[in-house]
Amino acid sequence: MAKIYHKKLVNAKEMVNEAHKNKYAVGHFNINNLEWTKAVLQAAQESKTPVILGTSEGAIKYMGGVKTIVGMVNGLLDDLNITVPVSLHLDHGQSLEMAKKCIEAGYSSVMFDGSHLAYEENIKKTKELIEFAKSYEVSIEAEIGSIGGEEDGVVGQGELGDPKQAKEMASLGIDILAAGIGNIHGKYPSWWKTLSFETLEELQNACKMPMVLHGGSGIPQDQVKKAISLGISKINVNTELQLSFRDATRKYIEAKKDLDDNAKGFDPRKLMAPGAQAIKDTFNELTKMFGCYGKAK
């Protein structure tokens, strides 16, 4: 069976391998609606930056389902004439059923998060997904241990990854490995100090492949850059875009521009425009930090 995802979508394998080789990281940006997706794609195209669009299971439900998301993304790729590499990725898929559903609908990349399972069960199901995905040419991300914090109902205790498990998981044929190195989903609490770079080095020496930093929003810039130098090749961002969207929208409303009936400030196209611009600005700021800005071939 040939790949069925849209001709303009690509899997994330080449993106992250290139990043791993050249010591930068590709940005994975979670999307939540049409405006979100459009803003990220426009920013990527304008800056010639490869990008991974991520959808959590919660966002999939909110937006109406996987077919709706695939249709929206494919339509935007065509209508906006997007030529930079774009991957559509399932973020923290909690079941094989959801991962397979996304692949069949046209996603070009999926993450199976078996960190909530016993390790042996995680390995078994990851193997099953790799076998299923072979004919679709999608990229596969898997996770060992768990990422701290909570995101769209996915809760982790923040365990540090085990190098032995990293080596075994990598040997299965996955494309990207997620593992806990002290990172946390959501806003970082005041008590949080640092990533465990010692753990990251041990994991990278064991798996020797692109690794992903989940919970990338709010980690100090110097730590992000050090993590990239040690093997992080994909960085997931969600909270940071949400906060920038919130702040720009709040500023518009506090200025009472939404109450200007003569200018039709209540029009959702005007109401959401400042937030969309803030997403683009944040995308540019972060991708420059990650080193992937302007790296599209």
Q: Is 178 left (phi over 0), alpha (psi -120 to 50) or beta?
A: beta
Q: Residue 285 and residue 269: Cα distance in Å, rounded?
A: 24
Options 79, 91, 247, 260, the catalytic residue: 91
- Return the structure tokens found at 264: 């039709």
Q: Considering only CA atoms, which of 148, 153, 207, 151 is closest in space to residue 175?
A: 207
- Return the structure tokens found at 6: 């849209």
Mutual orientation of helices 66-79 and 34-47 as an angle, nearest 10°?
40
Residues 6+ apart with CB under 8 A from 99: 90, 93, 110, 111, 112, 129
Q: Residue 271 and residue 252: Cα distance in Å, rounded?
A: 7
State CA 10 to chain mean position distance. Answer: 14
Give catalytic status of residue 91 as yes or no: yes
List the catalytic residues. 91
